Structure 1
């Protein structure tokens, strides 16, 4: 029997907002972070939403990451800039970087921003979606501490380094691809452990590189790459773009927020925005996307009960369903968050706890 409970998205966002505000964020920053996390859960990417709040809260309480960073440009030439994240909360840094990339794309046709000195920024799709909402195509990616081992290897040498791509459409949702270079994101192992489930043997290994079906052993061990050498090579590419080119940390200089919770991660990001109207009008571009989409959707399936989806479509459907039915959450995770919230001072936080508990009982 599942130990999940259902929480309304609005109730969860208000609760997270009060937590972030109680941990020192400005109103705008608390709003952005809480909205980013709830949006991620609404999409069904539960491995990068509420599940991460306990470690975020711990690091904010310890002043390891800054609640209100002063993100700044430290180098620039044409449509490419490098920004310093000022050890800030990753949601805030990633948003600021993509905001700048969009501005550059409006001026130059393409804008690229590499970021150093940041932290975990949640789902990469958040920043690609930020750009598609303004009619732009986008890429967003981040490097992480090495956690990926090549099959047969006994030591990780690169991270699973996620990358997302987005493009506007007329469908009511954008084309939105978000993948990591591992078979699955590490957060899915945490989620499996939270639910008491085993994992496929193709997801992770133990500390010696041997495959395991135990999510805790796998999380403490290493992840296996997507597509063997292909995922491995792409992960190296992301680290070059996020770490090497930014002048920041890469490979073993990046710190895990779980393995080193009392240290800044020194994570790097790269975000790119592309204005599709350089060659054609916005309407023509969307016409061409319509044609592209229809070709994919019309591809025949050998099983008539199945249908073809484009990236972003399942997340769009999941969001619509969860907005109506609520968000499924492990009871143990909700209890953990309430316990953390009780340690945060302030009448608004304590009142929010009572209100939130009333909606989850």
Structure 2
């Protein structure tokens, strides 16, 4: 079997959707989840891509995530909504937030969505980018099950806890900055494990606290934070922003995202949208243009998030190279569902 296979975006969408429908997920929700996973894969983020389908399917089968859940929105104030994810997949809840925030932000200058009883929210930059493409500056905070120890500690307490940011740039693609507070997102290690590949040293420790290049050992060990103590402090900050602030579980209370065992993880996300024209008195467009010009004039500098644009264009034109082991697993899930329904 070839190490990787080429698959088009529509074929990947259909395959992931079929696999999820076959595993206790409503068709509309399955399509929305598949769309988010394929978009992440196309943007060069395989840790949030098709490698997630087997774990999502296992959780839907066991009821750890409700594949039929419908999120609900509560308007708390003119600039704040609370969204109940109902222990379903995060993407429908995120859609509610992203649909509501633009008008609120333009009316009030700033708006926030607090999402609780949620799940894995994928590539945070994609959600921010949707707001930036509508002219808003956006921030997303999301917590995750424990995998990082407090600085100086040995036992994991915080999640990899992504922080994402996006800002509109007149006449250019939006600026997108997306990072986990671990040196890499844990999904990258999971993707390496599924593909049978080693990971670089410096990403993670095994369960005994030793550096490891074994992806399986890293999955049951701890992640190393970016910037050492500073990264661990950021992880704690996100726990406040995405869990305490919205009323969801902390990372040390949440069940894992890579198996069907356990209770729903009850993760949280906070999304903040800002109208930069209102906050800057109309100066934002000129100011962001000056920043981008300075970046362009800095020899050797690379704009954060810029690789996603070329990756998307290549995926749209030529398809995506996916590890064959991952595609085989997703195809098996879809075939099993087809046999059960026949």
Report the TM-score when normalising by structure 2. 0.92
Q: Distance in 2 between matches of 1:172 and 1:324?
A: 21
| Matched residue, 2:333 | 340
Q: Distance in 2 between matches of 1:294 and 1:151?
A: 38
Contact 1:26 1:68 in 2 (8 A): yes
Q: Distance in 1 between matches of 2:57 and 2:25?
A: 12
1:315 maps to 2:308: yes
Q: Distance in 2 between matches of 1:106 and 1:19?
A: 39
Structure 1 runs (4+) greater than 6 angstroms displaced: none
| Matched residue, 1:102 | 102
| Matched residue, 1:31 | 31
The change in CA–CA distance for 1:184 and 1:228 in structure 2 (over 3 A counts) is: same
Contact 2:73 2:96 in 1 (8 A): no
Q: Distance in 1 between matches of 2:77 and 2:19?
A: 39
Q: Distance in 2 between matches of 1:231 and 1:260?
A: 29
- 1:261-304 Cα offsets, whole Å, 9 max, x none, are 3421111111111111214587x53333222111012112xxxx
| Matched residue, 2:210 | 210
| Root-mean-square deviation (Å) | 2.4
- 1:156-199 Cα offsets, whole Å, 9 max, x none, are 12111001000112354210111000011111112222333322
Q: Distance in 1 between matches of 2:290 and 2:107?
A: 28
The change in CA–CA distance for 1:28 and 1:136 in structure 2 (over 3 A counts) is: farther
How many Å apart are 1:57 and its aligned residue?
A: 1.2
Contact 2:195 2:326 in 1 (8 A): no
1:263 maps to 2:256: no
Q: Distance in 1 between matches of 2:248 and 2:195?
A: 36
How many Å apart are 1:2 and its aligned residue?
A: 6.7
The change in CA–CA distance for 1:246 and 1:7 in structure 2 (over 3 A counts) is: same
1:288 maps to 2:287: yes
Is the deviation greater in 338-347 or in 129-138?
A: 338-347
Is the deviation greater in 256-265 or in 18-27?
A: 18-27
Contact 2:22 2:336 in 1 (8 A): no
How many Å apart are 1:83 and its aligned residue?
A: 2.0
Q: Distance in 1 between matches of 2:151 and 2:63?
A: 38
- 1:286-342 Cα offsets, whole Å, 9 max, x none, are 333222111012112xxxxxx422122111111112222210111111111111111
| 5+ residue gaps, structure 1 | 301-306, 351-361
| 5+ residue gaps, structure 2 | none
Correspondence list, 1:83-102, <5 A: 83-102=83-102
1:231 maps to 2:247: no
